[in-house]
Structure 1
Amino acid sequence: MERTSLEKLRLGIFVILGTALLVIAAYLIGNRQNMFGNTFTIHAVFKNVNGLQKANNVRYSGINVGTVKDIVMENDSTIDVIMLIQENMMEHIKKDAIATIGSDGLVGSMIVNIVPGEGLGEKIKSGDQIISYSRIGAEDMMSTLNVTTENAALLTADLLKVTSALNRGEGTLGRLLNDTLMANNLEKTILNLKLASANASNTLNEVNKLVMAAANSENSVFGVLMRDSLAGLEIKGIIHNLESASDRMQKLTINLDSIVTGIAEGDGALNYLSKDTIFVQRLEATMKNIEEGTAKFNENMEAFKHNFLTRGYFKKMAKEEAKAAKKEKVKN
C-alpha cells in the first residue's frame, strides 16, 4: 500500500530530528574529549590513582581544562597519567604546578586536580611532566581510624583499671589520695624543704656578702691576697716547701721504721746492747772504773800544782788567764 503524504512528512521530520540529535551528541562527546579543539598533553606519575579512569575530567584551580587521555602502568609502584589539556591553558599552567587525584563531590567520579605552584615557574610545554602528590585514600583513612579506635579502647580499659586502683587506695598514688595523714606529712615535708631551701639561700647570700666585703677590704688578708700577686707567689712557694718537707718527713719516717725494724729483728749494736745483760754489766763496771780513775787523776793534778817544782808555772798561767779576762771585760 502506498504511503500517504502525511506519513512521508512524519518520516522526514523523524529523520531530520534523529540526524540533528546524532550531530549534537557527537559534538558534545567530542567536546568532552576535546576532539574539536587544539590540545596538548602533559604527564604526571602517581603511586596510586585511586580508581581514576580514562576520559575523567582534569581541573585547574577548579575549572575543567581537559580530560584523562590514558593511564599507563609502568611498574608495580609507578603509574603514568597522560592528560589532554586545552591549548589556551598553556599560558596559565606552569612547570611547578602540582597534580593530585580527588573525587568530584562525595560520591562522584575521580578527577585530576592541578594546583598552581608557589613560585614563578616557566610555562608548560606539550609532553612535560609535572609534580604529583598522592593523597591518602578513604580505605587507608578507615584503616587508620580503625587502628586508632582499637588503641583508644585499650587505653580506656587501662585508664579504668588505674582509676579503680586509685579509688581502692592501691599503690603510692592511691595511698596519697586516700590517706590524709600521709598527705599532711608530705605537705609538711615539702614545707620544710622550702624553708630549708630558703635558709640555705639566705646563708649563701650572707657568705657572698662577707666574701665580697673581705675582697673589697684593702686591710683584710683575703683582699691582700687577691690584689698582691707577689703574695700569691710567696704563698705558692710556701705550699711547695710544705709539700717538699712532707716528702722528706715521709722518707725519714720510712728510714726510722726500717731502723727500728732492724733493731727489733736483732741487727746492729743497739739490739745487742739491749739484749746482752753481761755486756751491759761489763760496760757499767768500765764506766765506774773510768769515773774513779778520773777522780784520782784530778787529785794528782791538784797535788802536782802545789809541788814546789811546778808551782811557779801554774801561778804564771793563772796570772795570764786573769789578764786575758780583764782585756775581755774592757772590750765589752
Structure 2
Amino acid sequence: MDKAENKRAIIVGLFLAIGLVVFIVGVFTLGSQSKSFSKSIHISAVFDDVSGLKTGNSVWFSGVKVGSISKIHFIGPGQVDVRMSIDETSQQYVHRNAGVHIGSDGLIGNKIIVIDGGSPQAPVVQDGDVLLTEKLTSTDDMLKVLQQNNQNLLSITGDFKLLSRKILQGKGTVGTLMADSAVGNQFRNAMSNFERTSATAARLAANLERFSSKMNTKGGLADKMLTDTATFATIKSAANQLKQAAANTTEATNNLKTASDKFNRTDNAVGVLLNDPKAAAQIQSTLQNLQAGSIKLNDDLEAAQHNFFLKGFFKDRAKAKADSIKKANKQ
C-alpha cells in the first residue's frame, strides 16, 4: 500500500470517528431533551378537541417542562385520549386534583399540554392516573368572538350612520328639534316652563317643610291640639257649645220668621193692625176718643175738687197724706 492510499484511509477513518461522535452526542442530547434516559410515569387526559396536538410535544407544569406526549388516540366519538410521560423527579409536585389544558409554546408556537392547579392535600399522581381537563378559550374561539364583535360594531356603525342622516334631514323628533327653529323655540319655552314649575314646587316643598316643623314645635298650639288631651277636650267642648248656640240661633230665627209670618196675616190682632188700613183707622179714632175723654175726665175731676160739696173731702184727704209723709220723715 503506497503512501497516498494510507493518507486516504486515515482521512476516511477520521471522518467516520467524527461522525460517530456527533451521532452519539446527538442521541444523548435528544434523549436528554425527551427524557428518554430518565425514569418516568405515564398519566393521561381525555379531550374533546386536541387543537393540533402531536406526539412528542412538551408537557409543562408551573412553567417547567416535566415530560412529553407519548401517544394520542381516540377512545370514543369526539373523545381523544392523550398519554403523557412525566419525569419521575417531578411526580411529587403534581397532584391528582390538578387540571390539564392545551396551550401554545409562544403566540404561534407548537401546541403543548399545561398542568396547573392542584392542592398539597390531594395525593400525588401515580402511574396510570387520569387528570381532569379544563376547557379554555382557544385562539379560534377568540377569533370567532372578535369576528362577531366586528360584525356587531359594523351593524351599530351602519345604524348610527342612518340615524345621523335622518337627523340631518330633519326626520323624527330629534331631527325636527334640530332642523325646525320654531319647534326648537317651543321646546326651549317648554323647558323654561318646566324649570319654573320645578322651582315653584321646590319652594312649595320648603314652605311645607317649615310648616310641618312649626306643627311639630313643642308647646305650640298645633302640638297641644295633637298631643294634649285636656286641650283637645276643651276645644271639643267649645265646639259643642258653639254648635248648641248655632242651633239656638237657628231656632230663634225660625221663631222670629214664624212671628213675622203671623204679622203678615190678618187672622190676628197685630196682623189686622199692620195689614188692614180700615181697622187701623178705627183703632186710631178710638185712641183719639179715649185721649179726648181722659182730658175731659181730668177737667171734670178738677172741677169736682173745687165744688162746694166735695171741697172738704179733698181737703181732708190732702191733709191726711201730708201728715203721713211728715210722720215717715221723722222716723
Q: How high is the TM-score relative to the length of structure 1? A: 0.59
1:273-327 Cα shifts (integer Å, max 9, x gaps): xxxxxxxxxxxxxxxxxxxxxxxxxxxxxxxxxxxxxxxxxxxxxxxxxxxxxxx
| Cα distance change, pair 221–141 in 1 and its aligned pair in 2 (3 A) | closer
Q: Which residue of 2 aligns with 1:61?
A: 62
| Cα distance change, pair 226–199 in 1 and its aligned pair in 2 (3 A) | farther
CA distance in 1, matches of 2:21, 2:216: 111
CA distance in 2, matches of 1:86, 1:154: 53
Q: Which residue of 1 aligns with 2:178?
A: 177
Q: How far did 1:165 drift?
A: 0.6
Q: How far did 1:68 drift?
A: 0.7
The count of residues paired between Structure 1 and Structure 2 equals: 234
Query: How do residues 54-93 of structure 1 correspond to structure 2 at under 5 angstroms?
Result: 54-93=55-94
Q: Which residue of 2 aligns with 1:133?
A: 134
Q: Is the 8 A contact 1:41 1:83 kept in 2?
A: yes
CA distance in 2, matches of 1:217, 1:143: 72
Q: Which residue of 2 aligns with 1:45?
A: 46
Given residue 24 of structure 1, which amino acid in structure 2 is its aligned partner? V
Secondary structure of the structure 2 residue equivalent to 1:67: strand
- Indicate the larger mover: 198-207 or 170-179: 198-207
| Cα distance change, pair 204–157 in 1 and its aligned pair in 2 (3 A) | closer
1:47-100 Cα shifts (integer Å, max 9, x gaps): 221100111111223332210122233333433322211122123334454433
Q: Which residue of 2 aligns with 1:124?
A: 124
Q: Which residue of 1 aligns with 2:21?
A: 20
Q: Which residue of 1 aligns with 2:147?
A: 146
Secondary structure of the structure 1 residue equivalent to 2:103: strand
Secondary structure of the structure 2 residue equivalent to 1:164: helix
Given residue 115 of structure 1, which amino acid in structure 2 is its aligned partner? D
CA distance in 1, matches of 2:150, 2:215: 69
| Cα distance change, pair 28–195 in 1 and its aligned pair in 2 (3 A) | same
Q: Which residue of 1 aligns with 2:30?
A: 29
Q: Gaps (5+ residues) in structure 2?
A: 237-331
Q: Is the 8 A contact 1:67 1:83 kept in 2?
A: yes
1:16-46 Cα shifts (integer Å, max 9, x gaps): 3343333333333333332201112233333
Q: Is the 8 A contact 2:225 2:231 kept in 1?
A: no
1:139-182 Cα shifts (integer Å, max 9, x gaps): 33333333333332222222111111100111100011122332
Query: How do residues 4-15 of structure 1 correspond to structure 2 at under 5 angstroms?
Result: 4-15=5-16
CA distance in 2, matches of 1:37, 1:91: 15
| Cα distance change, pair 229–68 in 1 and its aligned pair in 2 (3 A) | farther
- Indicate the larger mover: 80-89 or 21-30: 21-30
Q: Is the 8 A contact 2:58 2:67 kept in 1?
A: yes
| Cα distance change, pair 83–174 in 1 and its aligned pair in 2 (3 A) | same
Q: Considering only aligned residues, what root-mean-square deviation do their CA atoms show, in Å?
A: 3.5
Q: Is the 8 A contact 1:69 1:82 kept in 2?
A: yes
| Cα distance change, pair 135–208 in 1 and its aligned pair in 2 (3 A) | closer
Q: Gaps (5+ residues) in structure 1?
A: 236-332
CA distance in 2, matches of 1:228, 1:120: 76
Higher gyration radius (CA): 2
| Cα distance change, pair 219–38 in 1 and its aligned pair in 2 (3 A) | closer
Secondary structure of the structure 1 residue equivalent to 2:80: strand
| Cα distance change, pair 136–225 in 1 and its aligned pair in 2 (3 A) | closer
Residue 213 of structure 1 pairs with residue 214 of structure 2: yes
Q: How far did 1:194 drift?
A: 2.4
CA distance in 2, matches of 1:214, 1:107: 79
| Cα distance change, pair 54–217 in 1 and its aligned pair in 2 (3 A) | closer
CA distance in 2, matches of 1:229, 1:80: 93
CA distance in 2, matches of 1:82, 1:121: 25
Given residue 188 of structure 2, which amino acid in structure 1 is its aligned partner? E
Secondary structure of the structure 2 residue equivalent to 1:126: coil
CA distance in 1, matches of 2:219, 2:63: 85
**Identical-residue share of aligned pairs (%):** 24
1:208-259 Cα shifts (integer Å, max 9, x gaps): 4334434546573663244439969xx9xxxxxxxxxxxxxxxxxxxxxxxx
Q: Is the 8 A contact 1:44 1:81 kept in 2?
A: yes
Q: How high is the TM-score relative to the length of structure 2? A: 0.59
Q: Which residue of 2 aligns with 1:188?
A: 189
Secondary structure of the structure 2 residue equivalent to 1:40: strand
CA distance in 2, matches of 1:85, 1:108: 21
Q: Is the 8 A contact 1:43 1:83 kept in 2?
A: yes
Q: Is the 8 A contact 1:218 1:224 kept in 2?
A: no
Secondary structure of the structure 2 residue equivalent to 1:9: helix
| Cα distance change, pair 184–14 in 1 and its aligned pair in 2 (3 A) | same
